[in-house]
Chain A
Amino acid sequence: MTPPVYGLMAEFATAAELLQATRRAYTEGYRRMDAYSPFPVPDLAEALGVHSDRVALLALTGGLLGGSGAYGLQWWINKIAYPINIGGRPLHSWPSFIIVTFEMAVLFAGIATVFGMLALNGLPMPHHPTFNAPGFEGASRDRFFLCIEAIDPRYDAAGTRAFLEGLNPAKVVEVAN
């Protein structure tokens, strides 16, 4: 059963205030939280304790699979499935296979990057409790938010609210689940 409250959300006017508040919350021991900003704020993810993402690894995997698959397919077609003599070249004439190999490496790396990024982000997800917070539309315009989630072990409705109020936010609201 999901708890009735998703968390407490503090709203800030500037990126610098949000960054500072996030750092304070991390030092305080909060981990299950997220920050929301209308553009990528440098160092904000690090302040939340995120130090790596696996997008580059996915891109590399996709690229290697695409490239080796394309080369292997061309080798198999020309050497085994359909060997024909074209201009006296050897059946395994590797220089002619490089372009398609390159293109397929880029294609699969790109697809892995985009769909991997979306999957890691859990998107598409049209509904999310944060959208219940009043004024949250500002996150895609000019407002900055920090949300401490109720599932955080240190979360406590009154204490966490007091902590957030102390960070000089524009306002603090409770987010329904």
Chain B
Amino acid sequence: MNGIEWIVPLVMTVITASTPLLFAALGELVTEKSGVLNLGVEGMMLVGAVSAFAVASSTGSGTLGIMAGAAGGALMALVFGFLTLTLLANQVATGLALTIFGVGFSALIGASFVGFAIEPLPPLNLPGLSDIPIVGPLLFGQDFLVYLSFAAVIGVAWFLKHSHSGMVLRAVGESHDSAHAIGYNVIGIRYLATMFGGAMSGLGGAYLSLSYTPMWAEGMTSGRGWIALALVVFATWRPGRLMLGAYMFGGITILQLNAQGLGMDVPSQLMSMLPYLATIVVLVLISRDQTRIRLNAPASMGQPFRPAH
């Protein structure tokens, strides 16, 4: 067993760094599949993170915290939905507004929680199974949200590909006029997809403030919401590829954190640039193949819909 056990803590940290990205990007994927482009992921994650932390530290319950995180993100998405779907406001501008608002609002709520500490979410720890060397802690030693994120990938993939509702959602995203003509409630479906996206971003934020770094700090998402948006493009709107991308970015984050430990003498700020630079590189690589993007991107994305009658 000697020599290979170092891999356990490494993989564990990659998982924790990837999970918030996975939640947020998966939610945005569903939102975009319905034809809505919500650029407010960063703001929704922050509100999710602060709601989760505030509730968890006041009640002592991680479960309530997780629920509060999802609810906070979903409420933010509801504001976005009202502006863009009901009032037909520009989606790009509204998404930016949602992020600007979320940064300020979360800082305001969080101001009285700075410096608080909470117990991180407990790992699953199945007696016996979790004690198996290497496989045990990796498979059975994660916290609830990590398993939820795996389940969500499978659930979303199945929903989009095999369920009737998923087909309707994709139809709405491809051509809202045709979907409306067939009799589907375009606005209603987009509201649901947008709020699902918000709830998932909220969960991503909750994972940050309850598990990854169990505390609240202003702007603690540090751009993860934007990276999640890039991941959706990278994945060309497919859940499986999305998971791959999220874990790749989690790996880069950990590489950056462990660089000094590995004997690399690079200033920390330069190492911290890695995830952002990697995002740009990945976007360039994927964008060079415009046909693939055009084939997979929901055709109505970002366009407002107003029923003719």
Q: Do A and B come from the same complex?
A: no
Chain A interface residues toward B at CB < 8 A? none
